[in-house]
Amino acid sequence: METTDPSASLLCREVRDRRGRVYRVGESAAELTGRGRIWMAVLPWVGTTGIACAAYVFVAAQNSSAGGRRWDTGLLWPAALWALSQMAVALPAGRLRESGRLSARAAVTAGASGASAGCLTLALAPGPAAARLASAVLGGAGAGLVHATCLTLPGKWYPERRGGPTGFVASGLAFGAVPLLPGLGSLGARADRSAVPALTGAAVCLVVAAAGRLLRDPPRDWWPPHADPLTVPADPVARRVREKNPPAVRQYSPQEAARTPVLWLMWLCLLGAAGVTVLGLRLLTSYGRVPGQGDGIWYAVVAGGVVSAGAGALSDRLGRRATLSAVCLLLGLAQFGAVLAGRTGSGPLLLGCAAATGLAGGSALALVTALAADHFGENHSAGVHGLLAVSWLLPVLACFGTSAAAAAARDPHGAFLVAGCTALACAVLALFLKAPGRPSARRIVPNPHPLGEEMA
């Protein structure tokens, strides 16, 4: 073991494992930030929840402008532009974050300010079409900055068990819809005639900006002092977490990660899970046209998305790959169950499938985000996440910007079957997401001439 003592105001040291990876140990989160590291999970959760609430307000306004038909329009170009702007910002934001030129505080504050300006533009600009387009660009770019920071920051502060905190932060994407659920229909109906929803979204973004002022990045290669990265933990729970989710063999840059096949397998897995989730939710709403059932489906979806926080904590115990495979399997079974619910007219089964779809979709994003940090390290996790974010946003862009979802709604049973088979393929693909650079136990060949025989 090689040990060095960098010059720092706090007592710390750098240690290297047998593969040469550096760990900086000795500094606690309280010494670095003045508060416990739990705040580096709670504050990002506030960020994802607030920015998701602003996005839902924006989509409700677009549905109102389309005549109150909720998800039946198929061509909601301002909402598609929001997703496109968020997708365009994800990778540059990640690169700026990891280069040190954009801190977590500056990224979330700037992103929340942009989203707030977008909501104000939607409420106050005189031209409705121009206001929607300007709001989409500002809001989408701001959301991209917030997401690139908030989803990856907990994994840096919890490198020894990042699944639970990452899942908790990702659940904010669904939790942001909770304040809108009681008035989901009336909010969309009033969005064009009242500035209250947009002003509410702007106020929520200001709360996100205030939370962002307290965010901090840990030092590069930081590791919590209570968990020795070079020894096997004595606690059986911590030992199981380390065995199921070992740290990356080294820190990969986004360019190095892009040259490994596992990143693109991960990209395809997330693309399939996101596509099935978006298409499944689009088709489930067409099944919910019975009076009183449509809102019930949205309640079930949001409840499933909130509960998805538990999948991250479960992955710490069972392993990230196994949990992601199980989540994709659940997603596929939910699509097949929706076909059965549609043919039998079973309302409870339909609600259960909606909840399972929301749970699996939210869990897949959190698990892939944590798995990327497990495989490629924490130092460049925001840049790697920028590559993966494209696969999550492409189905959203296709749903809002094309008529593909409307075409699939003409034959929902066939579309559900295709979606279910796609999710099952993702479940199999998840089993092949092995960390690069780590030798497989099956490839280790025993010594044909043990020391005892040679001595004899």
Distances in Å between the Cα of 180 and the Cα atoms of 184, 194, 200, 388, 455 are 5, 15, 11, 29, 76
- CATH number reported for the structural domain that contains residue 222 in this entry: 1.20.1250.20
The full length of the chain comes to 456
**pLDDT given at position 449:** 55
Q: Exposed, middle or buried: residue 421 (CB in 10 Å: 0-12, 13-18, 19+)?
A: middle
Total structural domains in the chain?
1
pLDDT in tens, the chain (456 residues): 444 444 444 578 889 988 889 999 989 999 999 989 999 999 999 999 999 988 888 777 665 554 444 444 444 677 788 888 998 898 899 888 888 889 999 999 999 999 998 888 877 765 667 777 888 899 999 999 999 999 999 999 999 999 999 999 999 998 888 777 655 444 444 444 446 667 778 888 999 999 999 999 999 999 999 888 888 888 888 889 989 999 999 999 999 999 999 999 999 999 999 999 988 888 887 665 544 555 677 788 888 888 888 999 999 999 999 999 999 999 999 999 998 988 888 888 888 998 999 999 999 999 999 999 999 999 999 999 999 998 988 888 887 766 666 666 677 888 899 999 999 999 999 999 999 987 765 555 555 555 554 444
CA atoms of 216 and 210, how far apart (whole Å): 13
Residues 6+ apart with CB under 8 A from 267: 387, 388, 390, 391
Q: Report in angstroms the alpha-carbon separations of 3 from 10, 17, 25, 248.
A: 16, 10, 11, 20
- Structural domain including 155 reads 29-437
- Measured CA to CA, the distance from residue 110 to residue 99 in angstroms comes to 17
In a domain, 23, yes or no: no
Contact call for residues 245 and 375 (beta carbons, < 8 A): no
Q: Determine contact, residues 239/232, Cβ cutoff 8 Å.
A: yes
Is 130 contained in some domain?
yes
Q: 186 lies in a domain? A: yes
Check residue 407 and give its pLDDT: 67
Alpha-carbon gap, residue 133 to 121, rounded angstroms: 9
Count of beta carbons in the 10 Å neighbourhood of residue 300: 23
d(CA 63, CA 42): 32
**CA neighbor of 355 nearest in space, from 407, 317, 318, 302:** 302
Q: Which residues pair with 24 in a beta bridge?
A: 14, 222
Helix (H, G, I), strand (E, B) or coil at 204: helix
Instruction: Tell me if 3 is assigned to some domain.
Output: no
Say if 4 falls within a structural domain. no
Q: Has residue 47 been placed in a domain?
A: yes
Residue with tokens 């960390």: 435
Q: Does residue 8 fall inside a structural domain?
A: no
Asked if the structure places residue 345 within a domain, the reply is yes
Nearest partner of 152 among 311, 388, 390, 392, judged by Cα? 388
Tokens coding 452: 């005892």
Spatial contact of 3 and 229, defined as CB atoms under 8 Å apart: no
DSSP letter at 129 equals H
pLDDT at 451: 52
Per DSSP, helices labelled H in 259-380 are: 261-287, 294-307, 309-318, 320-344, 347-376
C-alpha closest to that of 57 among 263, 213, 204: 204
